[in-house]
Structure 1
Amino acid sequence: MIEYLPRSKQHSELYLTQFGIEECIPSHFFGPAIRDHYLLHYILDGEGTFEVGGFSYRLRKGQWFLICPQVITYYQADVVNPWSYCWFGFDGALAETLLKQAGLTMTRPILNFEGDHLIYQYLQLMNESSGCHKARETRLTGLLCLMLSELIEFGPVTPPEQKESRAEIYVEKVKDFIEMNYAQKITIEHIANFIGLNRSYLCSLFKQQVNTSIQDYLVRYRINKACEMMGNAELSIGDISRSVGYNDSLLFSKIFKKVKGFSPKHYRTETHAQSQADYW
């Protein structure tokens, strides 16, 4: 059983391209060849060999093997105890990240997973989704996400590729908080309470790492966001001001001019004139 799917126009971050199941005859093989998407095989029974990157892996029931896009691979069923497997082809901007979280990469393409019942369940649900007339793409993407979440949850614990210092972690938390909440009336006290550090200590730590204060970083982040909004003619200066956390338009204009050297109105006029010149 195999089903090929059209490229998803709705789910560019992650989408299924095909899925299937096969009981191979002895010595059945594929390759050497490349694929243009990710392909995960799960061995339901039997044995076989998978070759990639100069390495040969002897595989058996209960193991996954990953084929990455544009990588030459070869795989062959055992001559005595040939494998049967199912497979899931997929792609999208999130595919590599999710696979890494499951401990699967081009250099680590094998994963042990004792969960035949779960895999059969996802295969059945994917097959049954053919009855959906309007939401099949969404349902298939959801099932793919659920299946990958099982691999991530029960796969090996993968250490971070680069260990961050505690100071770097706190700095990233500050930046993330500002990115998510810059439109609100946030203060340094709010940020410190959220992270769980003393205000003075956090400010000192941030200054050492970033070479600017948290307050200056927040102000510049807001003003840069405001600049991005200037190209939207439907937004007034007041709309933009409120959208980046300043209910007082006069205060916003004063801060904007201090940071950018122009008033918001002048900046918008100059930016529009420049874009028109670039167009022509």
Structure 2
Amino acid sequence: MLDVYYLENTNRNFNDMYLCYCGFEKCTPLHSFGPAIRPNYLLHYVLDGKGYYYANNKKYTVTKNEGFLISPNVITFYEADEEEPWTYLWIGIDGNKVKTYLKCIGLDEENLIFKCDEADLLKECVMEMLKHHKSTDADSFKIEGLLYLFFSRLSNNIKSTLSDDDSISNNYVNKAIEFIQDNYYRPIKVRDIAEYTCLNRSYLTSIFQKYLKMPPQKFLMEFRITKAADLLYDTDLPIGNIAYSCGYTDPLSFSKAFRKVKGISPKEYRLNKKGCTKQYLLLD
């Protein structure tokens, strides 16, 4: 079995709701997408393993039989776990009534995470969609029917939830994350974050550990490396310049941090990303 299946639907003749694309992927450790903005709604559903979803300054841990919603025009990032990388399916959808339909099953901009125990049925829907790729009218009607069946199965079983609900309402954590996002390119340290939030360092560390499952130092490092990875892929800037742009005054320290997060050096990452030719258009 292939690790990736993908379908882009070019027949979009239905106004209320229609499929833009769908797919299935068994991800490699730390496989990630973003930060990115989507023009349409996108649902991911985890069949196995786990990973992490970042949206609206919040981090969610998403595991087997759970899923997450990506809303249009919102910056998001998601990444497979290193030890238990997720296998997931996804459907990209659009239409005049999509927002209403999502609300009917308990999903909106404030409720992005859901649970559903119908993994086999949801997978069956998507795998069946993938078979109808000939762009005929018959295929279009079949895909549209499967899309509504997918929603029917979700609505019968879905349990809307907010992962780490306490952390989401925690003003200190949100304030710290906003400070990191606004200042990651400066040589800030944990003590600067603690000073900004008016907390002592030990308490700041304890609430990060409790709500985000990592200390603030690791969160800051991973955020910087995510930004650096984008620059490595999207630009031809020298690695030293990218290091400085992401808050590292020492390129060697940057390289060590990058390898710790991504498992390879910045140079190797750039070569791998730019040298990779994909057989499929992966909009996972």
Q: TM-score, normalised on structure 1? A: 0.53
Which of 108, 123, 126 pairs up with 2:126?
Answer: 123
Please give the secondary structure, in 1, of the residue aligned with 2:61: strand
Instruction: Name structure 1 gaps, 5 residues minimum.
Output: 159-280
The number of residues matched between the two structures is 157
Q: 1:133 to 1:157 in 2, by over 3 A?
A: closer
Q: Does 1:6 align with 2:10?
A: yes
Question: For the structure 1 residues 43 and 132, does the alpha-carbon distance in structure 2 shift closer, same or farther, using more than 3 Å as the test?
Answer: same
Give distance in 2, aligned partners of 1:11 and 1:100: 20
Q: For residue 46 of structure 1, report the CA deviation from its aligned partner.
A: 0.5
The offset of 1:132, in angstroms, is 7.2
Further displaced range: 42-51 or 120-129: 120-129
RMSD: 1.7
Choose which of 31, 54, 57 in structure 1 pairs with 2:57: 54
Counterparts of 1:124 and 1:24, CA distance in 2: 17
TM-score normalised by L of structure 2: 0.53
Please list the CA deviations of residues 196-250 of structure 1 after superposition, one character each: whole Å capped at 9, or x if unmatched. xxxxxxxxxxxxxxxxxxxxxxxxxxxxxxxxxxxxxxxxxxxxxxxxxxxxxxx
Which of 65, 76, 79 is equivalent to 2:79? 76
> Aligned partners of 2:136 and 2:20: how far apart in 1?
18
Counting only pairs closer than 5 Å after superposition, residues 110-149 of structure 1 correspond to structure 2 as 110-130=113-133, 133-149=136-152
Please show how residues 1-280 of structure 1 align to structure 2 within 5 Å. 1-6=5-10, 8=12, 10-130=13-133, 133-156=136-159
Identical-residue share of aligned pairs (%): 36
Structure whose alpha-carbon radius of gyration is higher: 1
CA deviation after TM superposition for structure 1 residue 7, in Å: 5.3
Give, in whole Å, the separation in 2 of the partners of 1:67 and 1:105: 9
Distance apart, 1:56 and its partner CA: 0.5
The aligned residue for residue 258 of structure 1 is none
Q: Deviations over 1:10-29 (max 9, x none)?
A: 20111000011111111111
Q: Distance in 2 between matches of 1:105 and 1:38?
A: 10
Deviates more, 1:136-145 or 1:124-133: 124-133
Q: How far, CA to CA, are the matches of 1:134 and 1:108 in structure 2?
A: 35
Name the CA distance, whole Å, in 2 between partners of 1:110 and 1:157.
6
Bigger relative contact order, structure 1 or 2 (CA pairs below 8 A, ≥6 apart): 2
